[in-house]
Structures are given as C-alpha cells and as structure tokens.
Amino acid sequence: MVPILALVIGGWMIYRSVSAQGPVAYVRFDTADGIGAEKTEVRCRSVRVGFVKEVTLAEDLKSVVVRLELNPDSGRLLRGGSNFWVVRPRVSTTDISGLGTLITGAYIELDPGPADSDEINHFKGLETPLPTNRDIPGRRLVLTAEEAGSLTAGSPIYYRGFEVGRIENRKLDPEGQRVTYDAFVRQEYSSLVKTNTRFWNTSGIDISAGADGFKVRTPSFQAMVSGGATFGVPEGVAPGTLATDGATFTLFSDEDEANKSTFNPTMKFVLLFDQSVRGLVKAAPVEFRGIPIGRVADISFDYLTSAADSRIPVLVEIDPSLLRREAAEKISKPDDEFLKDAVARGLRAALKTGSLLTGALFVDLDYYKEPLPAEITKTGDYPSIPTVSSGLAQLEAKLTAILDKVQALPLEDTMKKIDTLAEEATATIAAARKTLDSEEFASLPADLRSTMGALEKSVSSVGPDGAIQGDLLRTLDELRAALRSIKGVTNTLEEKPNSLIFGKDKSGNSIPKAPKPGR
C-alpha cells in the first residue's frame, strides 16, 4: 500500500504542477534593459497576468528572447495582433510616461490582439509603447506621405486647432517610396472624418515663395516642437460619407497642397512663347483675369514637332469647373467651337510677373484688343492657344531697339571730335593761365585804377554840379530865346508878308513916313 500511495501522491503533485502552469509566450526584444527573470511582471491594463521566467540571447546574438508565463486563465490574451513592450520611464517631445516604475520597477505591458485572431505564442516586442490601446473606441486610420518630416509617433492630430487624436506609429513601406502612419481619432470626434477629408502636415514653420509672393505659416508651439497634423474638408467640396475604420488618406505637405488636391484637370494645352520663361516653374498658376483655373504641368522642348522652331513650349492643365458655369458647360473638348470663337475674339495667353521680389511668373489668359489674327492650332497631340508677349518682354524689345540705334550712331567720330575739342580747350586754358601769371597782367589792375579815376573825373564834370552842366543850361536858355524870336518873325510874316520890305507897322497907318531933314 505504501508504494501505491506514494505513486498516487506523486502523480497528483505532478498533475497539480502541470495544471497550475499557465500558457507560455516567447517575446523578442532588442535588449533586456529593465527585464529580470522571476522579477519582472507582465501586466494587462495594469493588472498582473504573469511573470518573466527566463531571459536568453537569441541565436543571432542581435536580440534577446524573453520567456513569459501567464496565469492559467490568461491564455486568451496570446493571439495574433497582441503587442508587448517594456514600461519604463520615458521622456519625449510629446509626453512623459512611466515615472511610476522608478519605485515599482519596469514591467512588460500586454495589449491583446483582435478577439477573432488565432492563438500564437511567438511575438516581436515593441521598443516604444502604443499611444492608445486597441480596446479604446475611436477611428483608426492610415496616412501616407512622401516624406516623414517631423511627424512622429505621439504627434497630435488637430481639427480646427483642437486636438482630437494622435499619431500612433510611422514606418517606411517595403518599397521605400512612401511613409505610412497609423493615426487614431477619438470616438467623440470620429464623425468628423469623411471620405473627402484631407489631412496635411502642420509641423514647423512653413516659408514659401511663389507667384503669389511670400507665405509664412506658424503652427502652435506644440506642433512646432513635436510635429502635428490636421484635417478638414476643402471649401466647395461635399464632405461625403463617414470614413470607415482602417481607411487610407494621403498626408499632404501643407494646407495649400491639400486644397489643390481637388483640382481636376480635364483639358491640356501647349502654349508656345517667343520669350524667356525664366521664373516659370511647374505647378505655377494659370489664371483668367486673376482667377486660378489651372496650373503649369510641364516645360519641355519635347512637345515641339519641328527642330527649327525656337519657341518655348509650356504644357498647361485647366479645370473647366473653375470657370463660369455657362463657360464650363460649353467647353466639352479642347477644340470646342467655344474656344475657337474665344480665340477669334482676342483670347490670348501671356506670361505675367506674380511677384517682383521672387521674379516668379504665371500664365495669364485674357482678351486683348486688336491682336494679330490667330486661331487654335495643333502642337503634337495637344491644341495650342496663341500667345502674346508680356509687358516686360515688350519693354525689353523697345530697349533693345533703342540700344541698337545708339549702337548705330557714329560714336567713335564724335568721341574723336570731343577729344580734339578737349585738347583745344586744354591749350586755351593753359594760355589763359600763362596770361594770368604774366607780369603785364599783374600790372593791369593799377592801370585800370588810374583809368577809372580819370573816367570818374570826366563823369563828375558832366554831373549836376559840374561846369559843363552849367554851360549846357545857359546854352539851352539862349536857344529857347532864339526859338521864341524866330517864332515871332514867323508869325509876323504870316500876318504881313511884306514886312521884310516895309518893316512892321506899329501905328496902323499904311502911308510911309517922310524922311527926316538932312537925310
């Protein structure tokens, strides 16, 4: 009975030992920092569900394998999609976490995968914790971008400046062409994400220069430090239906790019310019009287059909929906009669300066008065709208013509004559300087002073107090008396012409007097 009893007790103890052992999981980490066998706990939602039983080096010696033993009733936590990470003090630009482990020590956090996943026991541990657990309700989205920028795991997601979610993770796609972000929007704000929603990056300070001048955008301080993204529906676009969980959106570099994503170019034209296109770049706006209706798609000589053609071809894209409704309805094809009629009425394309500071150009479509006759032609596979030279090009042409006329002037002969005149003037100045330096010229002031003295004396004799002045006055008096006598004689002769023979009759008797005796 004793051996039989010993076998029963031993079997019962073995059964108890085996039945008491919980499920085992193997998790691979880069390092075992903060992890200790029989010391480190395994928690789920801060509830202890197991212990670390063993820590060993991996076969490749590049990582460590941690063997975990969970409680017998925790086997349902080990399934596909479960995540493990070490909770330790962490300080980043977005938050500070794990400070409690300074007292209790580090532990391994377990985030269970989806309930419908298969049970597994080998996992790859995370080096950084998930910002949100899977059981927290909300909308989980995928964002894709060409560059990562400063957007990292934990960066906030804003809607109209209000934080509504976070970036959970970022990774490079297998082809290495795009960056993928796992984004989370809290449940109370998930209804804001629609199928036509646009996401864009708001990290850092954005300074850009183009045809519309300089633009400077500054986000919130937190977004500048930790990065951030925001979303919204572009103006004039229907919001669409509610986005589903796991939907993929493009993350644009800025708000302008997000708004331009609604651009739907259905018409393409080739514009041939006879002037330099320096300052015109791809994506430069195409405007009709200041209203954007398109953009520059390409600038290349490949669109020319003849090597002898020296004009610069510019391929532009136009969205007819940006025109007036009646015009958009009439334009069905690039060679539509509406466009032919518009060109006949003076529609032309020209290069205009968008900013004098940057020198950026844009394409301007407008009606011109009395332009040269033209019509829509074909350049390769694309129709071509006629162009005109812009104001600066016309000014340059006029300046070139003026310079050509100036260059045609006989400047060399004129300069030779000027040189000859300069030499003669130099000789004249030298002679004048020699005259001024001579002794004769030095004595000239004294002679001038004596001449001026003599002249002053002569002038003083003629003055009011001079002798000549008195003689002149007496002569004038005598002259006036003589004139009065002559006038009296003249009057007598008019009255009595024979007075020159008979003399003047003073008594009025016309009989002559008898001569006196003795005569």
- pLDDT tens-place string over residues 82-138: 889 898 887 665 556 666 666 778 899 998 888 888 888 899 998 877 767 766 788
In a domain, 129, yes or no: no
Look at residue 1 in the predicted model and tell me its pLDDT.
82
In this prediction, residue 185 has a pLDDT band, given cuts at 50, 70 and 90, of very high
216 and 148 share one domain: yes
In a domain, 131, yes or no: no
Q: Among 124, 149, 166, where does a domain finish?
A: 124
CA-to-CA separations, 93 to 184, 203, 205, 448, 516, in angstroms, rounded: 19, 13, 17, 98, 161
Q: Among 377, 401, 425, where does a domain finish?
A: 401
254 and 292 share one domain: no
In a domain, 38, yes or no: yes
304 and 390 share one domain: yes
149 and 93 share one domain: no
CB 137 within 8 A of CB 184: no
301 and 348 share one domain: yes
Q: Which two tokens stand for residue 109?
A: 């956090």
CB 108 within 8 A of CB 42: yes
Look at residue 194 in the predicted model and tell me its pLDDT.
92
Q: What is the mean pLDDT of the chain?
A: 78
Look at residue 247 in the predicted model and tell me its pLDDT.
92
Give exposure, 308-346, as e/b (b: 16+ Cβ within 10 Å). Answer: eeebbbbbbbbbbebbeeeeeebbeebebeebeebbeee
193 and 288 share one domain: no
Look at residue 316 in the predicted model and tell me its pLDDT.
92
The Cα 320–Cα 267 span in angstroms is: 7
| More confidently predicted of 409 and 478 | 478
Q: Which residue has the tokens 């006629």?
A: 386
Q: pLDDT tens across 476-504, in order?
A: 777 877 777 777 777 776 676 666 566 66
250 and 273 share one domain: no
The Cα 391–Cα 353 span in angstroms is: 9
CA-to-CA separations, 241 to 233, 380, 453, in angstroms, rounded: 12, 42, 116
Please state whether beta strands 285-288 and 107-111 pair in parallel, antiparallel, or not at all (unpaired): unpaired
274 and 397 share one domain: yes
In a domain, 507, yes or no: no
In this prediction, residue 458 has a pLDDT band, given cuts at 50, 70 and 90, of low
In a domain, 219, yes or no: yes
Q: pLDDT tens across 292-306, in order?
A: 888 899 999 888 888
Look at residue 501 in the predicted model and tell me its pLDDT.
61
287 and 357 share one domain: yes
Q: Which two tokens stand for residue 19?
A: 């039945």
In a domain, 515, yes or no: no
pTM: 0.53
The Cα 319–Cα 323 span in angstroms is: 8
Cβ–Cβ contacts within 10 Å for residue 121, how many?
15
Domain that holds residue 144: 138-260
Q: pLDDT tens across 11-27, in order?
A: 777 666 555 568 899 99
In this prediction, residue 466 has a pLDDT band, given cuts at 50, 70 and 90, of low
In a domain, 79, yes or no: yes
Chain Cα centroid distance, residue 377: 34
pLDDT at 41 over 80: yes
Q: Which residue has the tokens 């669109």?
A: 303
326 and 376 share one domain: yes
Please state whether beta strands 83-87 and 361-367 pair in parallel, antiparallel, or not at all (unpaired): unpaired
271 and 391 share one domain: yes
Q: pLDDT tens across 303-356, in order?
A: 888 878 888 999 999 887 777 665 656 665 555 677 788 888 888 999 988 877
142-156, 163-177, 322-336, 417-431: least confident range: 322-336
| More confidently predicted of 62 and 444 | 62
The total number of structural domains that make up the chain: 3
Q: Among 124, 147, 170, where does a domain finish?
A: 124
385 and 310 share one domain: yes
In a domain, 43, yes or no: yes
